[in-house]
Amino acid sequence: METLSATRWLQTLLSALALSILTTTASLAAPFENTLAQRLQACTACHGDQGRAGPDGYYPRLAGKPAGYLYNQLVNFREGRRHYGLMTGLLDTMDDSYLQEIAQYFSSLELPHPKPVPSTASAALLSRGQQLATRGDAAKGLPACTQCHGSLLTGVLPQTPGLLGLPRDYLNAQLGGWKAGQRHASAPDCMADIARKLSDADANAVTHWLSSQVVPFPAKPASSPPPRPSAQASVECGKPINTGQTTTSSVPPSAQLTQGAYLARIGNCAACHTARGGAPFAGGKRLDTDFGQLVSSNLTPHPSRGIGAWSPDDFWQAMHDGKSRDGRLLYPAFPYTHYTQVSRADSDAILVYLRTLAPSGQVNTAHDLRWPYNTQWALSVWRWLYFKPAPAVPTSPAPGDLARGSYLVNGLGHCSACHAPRNRLGAIDEAHAAGGGEVAGSRWLAPSLQSKTPGSLGHWSQEDLVQYLTQGQSKHGNAHGPMAEVVLGGTQYLEPADAQAMARYLLPESPARSATRYGDIGIPPVTMPATAPTALGPRLYEKHCASCHGQNGQGVAGAYPPLAGSATVNALRPNNLIQITVLGGFAPATAGNPRPFGMPPFQLQLNNQELAALVSFVRVSWGNTAAPVSEFDINKLRPAAAP
């Protein structure tokens, strides 16, 4: 009784606070528009309104730069040739066509540049800068910057950016990045070459001169570079990036190959076997576990470094028994504990597909595990305790067969690899799967998929689940973080009959399944803290969140998910709410949702105390019934600061 009245008191207080804020600031919120600009607010939160650059010059301008250049940079971040973790995290759930569209969009914006800051440099220094920019220094092998960046230095289509209107700090940081090997472009990387030839004094001179120039308006990139004077050094630059390279063959694919490619997607093999920026399936991706770091292996058909010499029997031994070709026991980070259920025909088809990949000579890297986990005898004990190969089956259940759903969920889909808890030795504990599991190497929580447990899938319809798996969105929320990557690389490609089979298996028809909302089912009553909450939570919500999620957490249909009644918000453990608030994110780009809306990361805006107040406020407001979160919880669950 006492808790109840305390709850009610708190809710009245909070809604009174929210209401008073509403009346003072409602007029400030911009109206919602279903545009690309609205979708990309997650970007302009850092890059400034319309991508005009952040106020202090640290966040570069995007508006008006050549689309080819912007696209190349987005791919460079995603593939690890440039580094900014908070931004890269947002790009990880996008596909190339959305990146193209984003690049086109920012490129098409024509905004005047701010007036340049008058330079404090001496006339001699500025004159040296001008010389380098417009004439180069043949003795040092330096072509003029105008040679590639255009005679007006406003860039050249399709992929060379302008150099005017950029703050000096930004210019220096980029030249320094190339010199130090932190920024890369596709090879040959001409700017790396030029930056290394520029002495510190010359770099200083040229950035002083560039940043003091008035930018013409409109600052259109030229359509071709100026003719090269024969006296000037010539340097080669890389071609525009063309991603999405798959094997091209004039022979039409066999049914077995098509099936193999499909199954490899459903198993999401590429997610673990492709390193950031590395060749597809060439391995080398590092996976964090409680026992140390594992490195995935090269699955391309290279004869000695990949699996080019493997027979279908060798491959089956890995998939079904968890043993490498030479008999070495494999670590269950490779989810053969699930793949053991894959049929022989499907295993063979996957190998047929892998053999069509471009062979990569990448050498497998040794794992970095603590003793005794790095020994084969420890692994054999583990396997004796926790792994029994499934009975071998020649073929998989046909589409339409009732057993097909279980085959996909428990076999190739390896859903419980994340969605069930693990014991102290890393073995999956299906018997206690009701609480869901923590995703290895992260603080994300994969909720229980058992439809009978409180607060779980129980209130979803089969159609909702099919939509979630194939589009990454549903009326119960979107796929975030690791699940967004599962959808992006895997489940979005599910054939309709297979998606339905999985939904039928996970959500069997039963009248007992209730239609109650997440927060209403079986969640233990919330014990409110004795002290009154501070006004900090509502204030931060108003400042950072209300413009998208609404004054009352109601969201905007089709764009911003509601926080009132949200499963993520009301979850017993606040892990995912904290990950999402700190990291932001886009739902995965899929055929059904090709241009998702984005949420900016708040890593840099909110300290632990503020995050605790904000998250607690969201968890107890608008009918939400979850327990507040302490600073201590935040300290434990906050993802590490991005590099």
CB 536 within 8 A of CB 610: yes
Q: CA-CA distance, 176 to 196, in Å (whole number)?
A: 9
Q: CA-CA distance, 167 to 154, in Å (whole number)?
A: 15
Taking the CA of residue 206 as centre, how many other CA atoms within 13 Å lie in the half-sphere pointing to its CB?
28
Whole-number minimum distance, CB 273 to ligand HEC, in Å? 6
Long-range own/partner contacts, residues 547-553 (CB < 8 A, 24 or more apart): 547/29, 547/30, 548/41, 548/599, 551/18, 551/21, 551/22, 551/26, 552/18, 552/621, 552/622, 553/618, 553/621, 553/622, 553/624
Which lies closer to ligand HEC via its Cβ, residue 275 or residue 417? 417
CB 273 within 8 A of CB 297: yes
Q: How far apart are the first and last CA of the chain?
A: 48
Cis peptide before 31 (omega within 30 of 0): no
Which lies closer to ligand HEC via its Cβ, residue 269 or residue 528? 269
Tokens of 305: 């470094």
Q: CA-CA distance, 334 to 343, in Å (whole number)?
A: 17
**CA distances, 355 to each of 89, 342, 599 (Å):** 31, 19, 40
Whole-number minimum distance, CB 617 to ligand HEC, in Å? 9
Whole-number minimum distance, CB 303 to ligand HEC, in Å? 13
Which lies closer to ligand HEC via its Cβ, residue 65 or residue 526? 65
Which lies closer to ligand HEC via its Cβ, residue 526 or residue 545? 545
Whole-number minimum distance, CB 505 to ligand HEC, in Å? 9
Which lies closer to ligand HEC via its Cβ, residue 366 or residue 530? 366
Whole-number minimum distance, CB 5 to ligand HEC, in Å? 28
CB 448 within 8 A of CB 419: yes
Which lies closer to ligand HEC via its Cβ, residue 6 or residue 41? 41
Which lies closer to ligand HEC via its Cβ, residue 199 or residue 245? 199
Q: Whose CA is closest to 189, among 226, 225, 228, 239?
A: 239
Which lies closer to ligand HEC via its Cβ, residue 409 or residue 528? 409
Whole-number minimum distance, CB 118 to ligand HEC, in Å? 20
Whole-number minimum distance, CB 329 to ligand HEC, in Å? 7
Whole-number minimum distance, CB 8 to ligand HEC, in Å? 24
Tokens of 43: 């970007």
